Each structure stands twice: as C-alpha cells, then as structure tokens.
Structure 1
Amino acid sequence: MADLTQHEWISKLKADNNAIVLDVRTPEEVAQGIIPNALHIDIFKGQGFLDEVQQLDRTKTYFVYCKAGGRSGQACAVMNQLGFNQTYNLLGGFSEWQGEVSSL
C-alpha cells in the first residue's frame, strides 16, 4: 500500500491500464457524488466488505478512496493482508478531490 497525493494518484491511475478505482464510503456519501467508473464497496459492511473484496481480481491495481483517507487506508491494509499487492490510498479522500465527479 502507498499513500498518494491526488496528483500522484491520478498520474499512476492514468498510466495503469490494469487499474480499478474503489470507493469504500457509505451509500449516503456516495449519493453526493463518485469518481467516474469507481466500484463501490462500503467498508462499514464488515464481513460483507471482506466477502465482496475477496471476489475481486488480485492481479489488478486498486486505487482506493473514502471521504478523508482514513477508511481507504484501512481498506488497503486489509486488501494487502488478503493478497492484493497493488493498492494505493488517496490522501485527503473525496473531500479534497479536484477531479471529475459523477453520480451513481
């Protein structure tokens, strides 16, 4: 896992054609907007989060974000323990996101 600034995160994301953006916020937070094409799995689902994450392709690179960067950091750590090698946490999270936003 690596903590990246938005600039670093976007740069690495654009350069990686094997990447998935993962939003770990609550449904209420997602309703306020989402980074385009992000996959949503709420980290507060507990075992449900683990179950859904374990179904993901471990060969992909995951760019993970939440509202401020804390939960996404936890998600990256959990994913690393589950065998995901490439996870990047967005520092500052969606609260500081300057890029494009879409609705679900």
Structure 2
Amino acid sequence: MKSKYHLLTFLLSLSLFFGCQSQQEAKITKIDKTYLKENVIGKQVQLVDVRTAEEYEVGRIGDAVNFNVVQGDEFLEQIKTLDKSKPVYLYCKAGGRSNRAAELLKAEGFTQIFDYSGGYNDWVQE
C-alpha cells in the first residue's frame, strides 16, 4: 500500500511539473521606434493605441485600434477582442498609460506584450 502511495505522489508531482512547464510566462517587453518600424508597421499585428479618442483622432501610428485604458471596464471589455496567443503592441502619448495597459493585459492572461515606451510623442519626432 505504501509503494502505491509513493507512486501516486511521484506521478502527481511529475504531472504538475510538466503541466506548469507548458504554460508560457507573461512578459512585457519595452520597444523603441526602430523596433516598431521594422516589426510592426505594415504587418498584420495587434497594435493598440491606449490614448483618448480625441488624441487618436489627431493622429495615430499605423493601423492601430483605439482602446482608451483610462476607461477601465470598457478597456477590459475591448481587450477581449484581442487574440491572447498573439503579440500585442501598445502605445500612448509618452509611456505612462501604455505601461498601465501592459500590466492589465498581463493580469488578463496575455503573454506577449510589447510596450512602445516613447509613445506617440516620440513617433512624430524626426
């Protein structure tokens, strides 16, 4: 009876170990303008502008969609339309709101999060 218990405990430990290994850990990666130009613009990606609708209307980067992070619950509903298995690229005006949005995405189970920390202000500078 004792050996069956040890075998069961061993098998349970193995399944927990390998089960946890297969899950991808969430990671927020800071990116710059060069990275954005080379890897995001003109590609089929999930690019999200987390500024207000008014800021978005004045100008945006590429084909970004606008999900205003300040709108809390509405933002959480909007990100449900994104594919968690694919990278998500975020930006705001200067980096503060996109950082907050990245943390929210991480908490919601997104694992590949890229934060353009320079934001729109950096983008429009030459």
Bin for the TM-score computed over the shorter chain: 0.7 to 0.9
5+ unaligned residues in a row in structure 2: which ranges?
1-27
1-structure distance, mates of 2:108, 2:82: 11
1:45-64 matches, cutoff 5 A: 45-64=71-90
Residue 52 of structure 2 is aligned with which of 26, 29, 51?
A: 26
Q: 1:54 to 1:5 in 2, by over 3 A?
A: same
Hey, what does 2:18 align to over in structure 1?
none
Larger fraction in helix: 2
Deviation at residue 19 of structure 1 after TM alignment: 2.0
Hey, what does 1:4 align to over in structure 2?
31
Deviation at residue 92 of structure 1 after TM alignment: 1.4
Higher relative contact order (CA 8 A, sep 6+): 1
Give the secondary-structure state (helix, strand or coil) at the position aligned to 2:40.
helix
Q: Is the 8 A contact 2:53 2:68 kept in 1?
A: yes
Deviation at residue 76 of structure 1 after TM alignment: 0.9
Figure out how many residues of one structure are paired with residues of the other and give that number. 98
Larger radius of gyration: 2
Deviation at residue 98 of structure 1 after TM alignment: 4.1
Hey, what does 1:71 align to over in structure 2?
97
Q: Is the 8 A contact 2:46 2:82 kept in 1?
A: no
Residue 89 of structure 1 is aligned with which of 115, 121, 124?
A: 115
